[in-house]
């Protein structure tokens, strides 16, 4: 099938595990991916470089062709996430597609389509806060929680703490986050972290540019480090990090979900294999030509709107509109489908 799918035979996905690397290793992995001139999917667990060219670098792991495409679809579906079905990952793959060269973006868009179909059948409300629930399989449920950080992961952890009815939650960060307003959590500046009273559990969710916290900096009986790269001392015996959580995630039990996702992948690949001469291919090509023409017109009239934003909006809108007509066109007999498709093709110029 791959010979009919534009670019799939050249698809390469290079992966770097960042769950326990230090800041220097994290920066090197990101730089190597950028040097690959690839689309980058950056998550709290890994960096994925997606390209239509062989990887010239010594990356830790790489996948090619159909195997790489299936991996991308499973990635977007959240099957490779520690928190099964984590919904942030789909947005991270979508942002990578928005910034990618058009051929790579087309591959990513199809992987996203398979993931979205799978997620509709398997709705899972998982986010970074689910990592706290996972950690509590090993750690005692705390009466007092210290959250170090102010980004999306810290916010998700605080939401989960509220759902778990943890009575005392303190957030320590450089500046008070906007999402904390109106909540019962207490806020303290990061430079006062070591002076805070003891807590049962500290969750560290800092960016890669933050300093590594030493044991004396964290007044807590247990520590959960969700940062990438890790922002706590590797020698601190209190720390549970992302690598330890991966051991708790039960990936071996996800095999039926991967098999179920394969149905969506096969359907996307079957649609993808339709060449431009088929009725559906001709129909979608005609609409795509109109989308591109209108995109140029909108871009000229509204230069203040970034081009990637226009690409994302118009592609998403067209894909949504075309889905049902494409399915109905596929259900018609070839002769009728060809007549219908011809209606949408541009008239030949004299």
Which carries the bigger pLDDT value, residue 18 or residue 163? 163
What dihedral do alpha carbons 241, 247, 253, 255 form, nearest 10°? 80
For position 275, what pLDDT does the model report? 62
Output the pLDDT for position 184: 63
pLDDT at 242 over 50: yes
Domain coordinates in residue numbering, the chain: 1-127+254-273, 139-243, 275-350
Contacts by 230-238 with C-beta closer than 8 Å and gap 24+? 230/19, 230/20, 230/21, 230/22, 231/204, 231/206, 232/204
Q: Hunting for tokens 């993808």 — which residue is that?
A: 272
pTM of the model: 0.75
pLDDT-based confidence at residue 1 (cuts at 50, 70, 90) = very low
Asked if the 1-127+254-273 domain carries CATH number 1.10.3470, the reply is no
What was the pLDDT predicted at 54?
77
Most confidently modeled of 1-10, 119-128, 146-155? 146-155
Q: What are phi and psi of 61, to 5 degrees?
A: -155, 145
* Residue 58: per-residue pLDDT: 62
CATH of domain 139-243: 3.40.50.720
List pLDDT tens digits, range 166-188.
Answer: 999 999 999 999 898 766 679 99
- Digit-coded pLDDT (tens) for 32-44: 767 766 788 888 7
Strands 199-204 and 46-51: unpaired
Q: Which one, of 112, 96, 116, lies nearest residue 51 by Cα?
A: 96
What pLDDT, on the 0 to 100 scale, is given for residue 285? 80
As a whole number of Å, the end-to-end CA separation of the chain is 38
Nearest residue to 154 (alpha-carbon basis) of 170, 166, 165: 170
Query: Residues 46, 17: contact at Cβ < 8 Å?
Result: yes
Per-residue confidence band for 4, with pLDDT thresholds at 50, 70 and 90: very low
Q: How far is CA 292 from CA 105, 287, 295, 298, 325, in A?
A: 15, 9, 5, 10, 20
Give the distance, in angstroms, between the CA of residue 43 and the centroid of all CA atoms in the same chain.
Answer: 6
pLDDT band at residue 138, thresholds of 50, 70 and 90? very high
DSSP β-bridge partners for residue 188: 172
**Residue 200 and residue 148: Cα distance in Å, rounded?**
14
């Amino acid at each position: 099938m791959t010979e009919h799918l534009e670019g799939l035979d050249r698809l390469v996905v290079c992966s770097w595990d960042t769950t326990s690397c230090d800041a220097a290793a994290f920066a090197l992995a990101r730089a190597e991916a950028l040097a690959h001139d690839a689309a980058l999917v950056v998550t709290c667990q890994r960096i994925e470089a997606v390209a239509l060219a062989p990887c010239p670098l010594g990356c830790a792991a790489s996948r090619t062709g159909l195997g790489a495409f299936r991996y991308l679809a499973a990635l977007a579906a959240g099957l490779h996430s520690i928190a099964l079905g984590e919904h942030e990952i789909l947005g991270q793959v979508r942002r990578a597609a928005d910034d990618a060269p058009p051929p790579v973006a087309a591959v990513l868009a199809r992987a996203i389509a398979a993931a979205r179909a799978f997620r509709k059948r398997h709705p899972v409300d998982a986010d970074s806060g689910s990592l706290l629930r996972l950690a509590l399989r090993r750690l005692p449920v705390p009466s007092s929680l210290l959250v170090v950080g102010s980004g999306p992961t810290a916010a998700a952890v605080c939401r989960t703490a509220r759902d778990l009815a943890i009575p005392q939650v303190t957030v320590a960060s450089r500046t008070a986050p906007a999402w904390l307003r109106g909540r019962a959590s207490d806020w303290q500046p990061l430079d006062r972290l070591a002076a805070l009273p003891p807590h049962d559990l500290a969750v560290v969710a800092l960016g890669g540019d933050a300093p590594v916290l030493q044991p004396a900096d964290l007044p807590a009986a247990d520590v959960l480090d969700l940062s990438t790269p890790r922002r706590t001392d590797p020698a601190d015996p209190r720390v549970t990090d992302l690598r330890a959580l991966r051991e708790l995630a039960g990936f071996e039990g996800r095999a039926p979900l991967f098999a179920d996702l394969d149905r969506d992948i096969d359907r996307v690949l079957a649609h993808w294999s339709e060449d431009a001469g088929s009725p559906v291919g001709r129909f979608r090509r005609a609409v795509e030509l109109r989308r591109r023409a209108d995109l140029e017109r909108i871009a000229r009239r509204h230069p203040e709107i970034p081009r990637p934003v226009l690409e994302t909006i118009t592609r998403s809108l067209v894909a949504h509109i075309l889905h049902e007509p494409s399915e109905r066109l596929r259900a018609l007999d070839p002769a009728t489908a060809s007549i219908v498709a011809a209606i949408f093709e541009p008239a030949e110029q004299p």
